[in-house]
Amino acid sequence: MASLIGLTKPFLEAVYKKENGDPLKWRYKCAFKILHVLGLNDNEIKRMFGVLHAFAISNLRPWEKVRGLAREFIRAQETLVEMEKIQVAMDYIQRRIGKRKPEIVLTLGSGLGGLADQIEDAVIIPYDEIPCFPRVHDHVKGHKGNLVVGTLEGKTVAAMQGRFHLFQGVTAMEAVRPLRTLAVLGATQFFVTNAAGAIKPEKFKVGDLMLISDSYNMTGQNPLVGPNLSLGTRFPAMSKAFSPGLHMEIKLLAAKELRIDLQEGTYVQVLGPNYEWDMEVEDMKRRGIIDAVGMSTAIEVLAAIHAGMQVIGVTLITNVAAGLSDVTPEHGEVEDVAIKNAPRFQSLMRLLVCRAHELKSGIISMA
């Protein structure tokens, strides 16, 4: 609603004068302006004609009318069911990007958003401009908060420069709404990335790139809870969610074409925002099945599999999990490692995008 705050009294008075003091015409024009700012098109605004008319003929003072209209719009948004919110967001994005249809969604983790700067013919849409996307006040450093749609390696991609985390106060359903919106827009592949801490420092070192073989959701939240959306089945199977059958070929490609020794391991999502307690890390080590820990990804993959998307996951090991070294984890350290390893990470992701059609078919050429 920040855009509404910018509609100050001087602006409203200027519009009033321009309309030659015609109160009714002025009220409608202001109302249409507000709803356009909020991302509605003319047809959607017409469906709210009753609300517009009620405020236009009311005896409220001009500024109160604007505030009242804003409250009514918020109330209307809150009553939308989830698929309607996804549709509103999708319609807005489609208007912004024209006839393009993203094939691949790239979610870029902490400090890894630089890949989006390499997208050609890009349309950049801040999350705050997209109706029905979550609104958060504490943006995570290293997450620009932009949707970037354009061409990369000849494919139409939608890159998310940053994501919504549960620790920011959004629900699991809200956190995955952008991904679901892009799935409805036509994307069928989800290349998800993150920065994570190593649970097994004897196996993974800082700077390693790791293919995610499987994941563990320890957040206690699930975006599939509640009424089942028409995107997929009520009870999706999560075995082989990260396309493990392709991992050997992907590792061989990375070694042959990029000289990258790509690791493979499991990833667990915790709620955050704090780094792990010593006992939590000790418990993860004792389980013996967890290689890396972070604060994202698992719930996104749940939504992607539910929507029928193919998933490939890549983790950059940016630190050793809390308590396993003498160094206290800091977000600045995570960013620094991500920036230092950006060229290798970007080369790998571009290779995956380039071979996306082969990955989808399951047949990868090594020639």
Q: Between 70 and 123, whose confidence is greater?
A: 123
Instruction: Indicate whether 160 and 137 sit together in one domain.
Output: yes
Indicate whether 7 and 28 sit together in one domain. Answer: yes
209 with 141, same domain: the answer is: yes
pLDDT, tens only, 241-268: 999 999 999 999 999 999 999 999 999 9
Considering the domain architecture, whether residues 308 and 354 belong to the same structural domain is answered as yes
Mean pLDDT of 29-40: 60
Query: How many domains in the chain?
Result: 2
Confidence band, pLDDT 50/70/90 cuts, at residue 2: very low
Q: Give dist(CA 121, CA 110) in Å, integer.
A: 24
Tell whether the model's pLDDT for residue 24 goes beyond 90: no
Boundary (domain end) residue, out of 52, 79, 106: 79
More confident residue, 89 or 70: 89
Tens digit of each residue's pLDDT (9 = 90 or more) over 145-158:
899 999 999 999 99
Among the candidates 23, 52, 79, a domain finishes at: 79
pLDDT, tens only, 92-118 = 999 999 999 999 999 998 778 899 999
Token pair in block for residue 304: 């992607």
141 and 231 fall within a common domain: yes
At residue 236, the pLDDT reads 97
The pLDDT value given to residue 1:
39
Q: Which domain holds residue 157?
A: 82-361
Same domain, 61 and 188: no
